[in-house]
Amino acid sequence: MSLFERIGEDIRSVMERDPAARSRLEVLTCYPGLWAVWIHRASHRLWHARLRLPARILSQVARFYTGVDIHPGAQLGRRLFIDHATGVVIGETAIVGNDVTIYQGVTLGGTGKQHGKRHPTICDNVFIGNNANVLGNINIGRNSRVGAGSVVLNDVPPDSTVVGVPAHIVYKNGQRVLITDPHEIKDPLSDVLIALSARVEELEQRLGGAHRQPEPFAEEEAERTAYRNEVRLAEFVSMGEGI
């Protein structure tokens, strides 16, 4: 595919996915995310030609003008749409598939100083909401969605939706995923939920045991209470007759 064919394909993909895009000229002139992708293609070629410094300089020029920081070593697929663009960071060993949509503030980053593959792999047709962080050498499966503000630290299976900090699956293959075990949500409140669940279970067991094993002399105490109530009722009736 020629350069101009790729450019036309990118513009068409933006118009298909963004209802705010009114014309090809508007997309060409007013979408910095698209410029960032185009400039990255040039810097990526320089990077693989071992012209590392010119590649990094070109990527910084793109960052200055577009607000998108894409390392020249990152691999980007076809028809990538970076909407609103500002604050997007894509690390050196990140791999992004075809037809991916990324919103502003998204980070495809690493989690440490290790070498080798340390950034995520985003498969085809994935949507990543604004300010989401996808960190480490993990895979986001095909047709999956990452909710806005989520922090993804583990692999996401295909056809899934994840949300939260850290992210957990809420939809899979179009079906709602119900979480019944607090251990499945490893957020800062999970320990509190686990302790509360254990306490509730303990109290239920104690109450169940109390029903199964009544306290000693409970029946005798009930009889005495009933007798005292009868005596009080008789006294009340006799007082009424005296009046």
93 shares its domain with 171: yes
- Rounded CA-CA distance 148/107 in Å is 12
Q: pLDDT (tens digit, 9 = 90+) per residue, 134-166?
A: 999 999 999 999 999 999 999 999 999 999 888
150 shares its domain with 36: yes
16 shares its domain with 135: yes
Q: What does the pLDDT average to over 216-239?
A: 62
SS3 173: coil
Model confidence band, residue 189 (pLDDT cutoffs 50, 70, 90):
low
Choose one of 178, 200, 225: the last residue of a domain. Answer: 178
185 located within any domain: no
Q: Do the beta carbons of residue 10 and residue 37 sit within 8 Å?
A: yes
148 shares its domain with 197: no
Model confidence band, residue 38 (pLDDT cutoffs 50, 70, 90):
very high
Q: Percent helix, strand, coil in the chain (nearest 5)?
A: 45, 15, 40
Choose one of 178, 203, 233: the last residue of a domain. Answer: 178
140 shares its domain with 198: no
| Rounded alpha-carbon distances, angstroms, from residue 57 to 35, 43, 94, 95, 116 | 16, 9, 19, 21, 22
Choose one of 128, 143, 178: the last residue of a domain. Answer: 178
Question: In the predicted model, is pLDDT for residue 240 greater than 70?
Answer: no
154 located within any domain: yes
Q: State the average pLDDT for the chain.
A: 85
Question: In the predicted model, is pLDDT for residue 174 greater than 60?
Answer: yes
Beta-carbon contacts of residue 111 (< 8 Å; ≥ 6 apart):
118, 135, 136, 153
Domain region containing 153: 3-178
CATH number for position 86: 2.160.10.10
**What is the number of domains present in the chain?**
2
For residue 26, what pLDDT is reported? 93
133 shares its domain with 221: no
90 shares its domain with 202: no
Q: Do the beta carbons of residue 169 and residue 150 sit within 8 Å?
A: no
Q: pLDDT (tens digit, 9 = 90+) per residue, 79-133?
A: 999 998 899 999 999 999 999 999 999 999 988 777 889 999 999 999 999 999 9
238 located within any domain: yes
103 shares its domain with 200: no
Question: In the predicted model, is pLDDT for residue 224 greater than 80?
Answer: no
**Paired strand residues for 151:** 133
For residue 2, what pLDDT is reported? 77
147 located within any domain: yes
92 located within any domain: yes
